[in-house]
Structure 1
């Protein structure tokens, strides 16, 4: 692990953020590749994986983003929380607006339950866009953390950014699976289902590079940017991931998955960061 951290330290934050999110994209592809072996998904396993995803995202939002954002904020007492409150609120508002505008369909929902602006787009496109919305704040979080670590901000470290990338990568596995498998079940070819599944994470490298560049160019925004990513991720978990994990009446399995995901990400982030 030390050699990986040393490598990321040597290549610069923008390139490091790009490579890290190529990893998260690749893991999404591995999840989507399950369509080559299965045509249907076990709903209990799927709900447990969704719960795990939610747990990872919540833990990452605090340990990797909010806590460092507050730590590096100026001031004392209540004034020290201002960047966190502003950034967190703006991040949630950003995804809220995107949710209302971008046409998308949550996993296992009927076509009539599609959200955003009404369009005649195919179900496959709407499903892919739903997962893509998850991946924007995830890519942004990785890029912002790499940028902050490169600038030497207290509370941001390359090890922490690597831990975040690993955690997000692992929870991307069920996301690729979640897009590809329903499409395969509806009769789409394996290759098309796989392509829709992995392309949902293509936005992560773009968001990561923009995030790293932004905090290096406009250094004072780093605490706000970290908390912005946290707010966006928490909104996604509460509005999409948790409700989807509970929809199949496997609430205990989904809850255990959530707890497991939270513990895993906490272990990873605190252990490495």
Structure 2
């Protein structure tokens, strides 16, 4: 029913609707701040591990594997766009990481990263999560653009699975922003507003990704691989280190395994 509904729209609109959903789940996670003053660190680390697992699985099943398949159907060795796009995606995120001022929620007592600034810590906390929400939105948008190019309902199902997976792991991300903001002294309302705002970049990235691959089809396998590289960079740079920073590595690893399994299930079953 959902796939049939989405099939009636252009890929750009499909991507917009899907990323509005992922933004909404981010807001749900941020809403935790109205009910809890703090979240048990073990629970947070498990959820961060889960988010990492979802993103790793999505990077292969929803992005790299289709990129290789599409490349080979075009007569191009599958590894070329996959490797190039993947590495460029990671390099792109690294460059933004070096420039954009941000402060990771789990490392709120450390020094901010990026260029020096006098921005408030609350803004820097939001920017950290916004930084890795961009490739998530881009991945969803590129997936819907690819589905339109391939003209397959199965491809749309795969894009829907990716959006569901990204949405699932956005819940702990929303909480990971709003809770530290409340500890910084902000009211629950302001903490929620900042927390959900970190997901606002996803619809923007989703629309850009869908439009790019739909109207410039030759870049499709590179765009899919680019999104995968950007997401893996986020996993290695932020999610896994943060999930293990308080000594809860076993819980974080269990969360990662579950997240990978859930995303693999969604992608294979629906896609």
TM tier, shorter chain? over 0.9
Provide structure 2 residue ranges, at least 5 long, that are not aligned to the other structure.
none
Which digits, 9 at most, give the CA deviation of each residue in 1:88-145, with x for residues without a partner? Answer: 0110011000000000011221454211001111111111101011111111111111
Separation in 2 of the partners of 1:156 and 1:201? 27
TM-score (norm 1): 0.96
Which of 237, 241, 250 lines up with 1:239 in the alignment?
237
Q: Which residue of 2 aligns with 1:265?
A: 263
Partner of 1:249: 247
CA–CA separation in structure 2 for the residues paired with 1:164 and 1:22: 14
Within the alignment, does 1:107 sit opposite 2:105 as a pair? yes
Q: For residue 38 of structure 1, what is the aligned residue in structure 2?
A: 36
Deviates more, 1:41-50 or 1:101-110: 101-110
Q: 1:114 to 1:155 in 2, by over 3 A?
A: farther
**How far does residue 79 in structure 1 lie from its aligned partner after superposition?**
2.7
- After TM superposition, list the pairs within 5 Å mapping 1:113-132 onto structure 2: 113-132=111-130
How many residue pairs match? The answer is 271
Structure 1: state its 5+ residue gaps.
Answer: none
Equivalent residue in structure 1 for 2:148, among 147, 150, 158? 150
| Partner SS state of residue 65, structure 1 | helix
Deviation for aligned residue 1:155: 11
**Larger displacement relative to structure 2 (44-53 or 108-117):** 108-117
Is residue 205 of structure 2 the alignment partner of residue 169 of structure 1?
Answer: no
1:69 match: secondary structure? helix
Cα distance change of structure 1 residues 103 and 155 upon mapping to structure 2, 3 Å threshold: farther
1:167–1:268 CA contact under 8 A, matched in 2: yes
Equivalent residue number for residue 6 of structure 2: 8
One of 87, 90, 107 as aligned partner of 2:88: 90
Q: TM-score, normalising length from structure 2?
A: 0.97
The partner residue of 1:198 within 196, 199, 202 is: 196
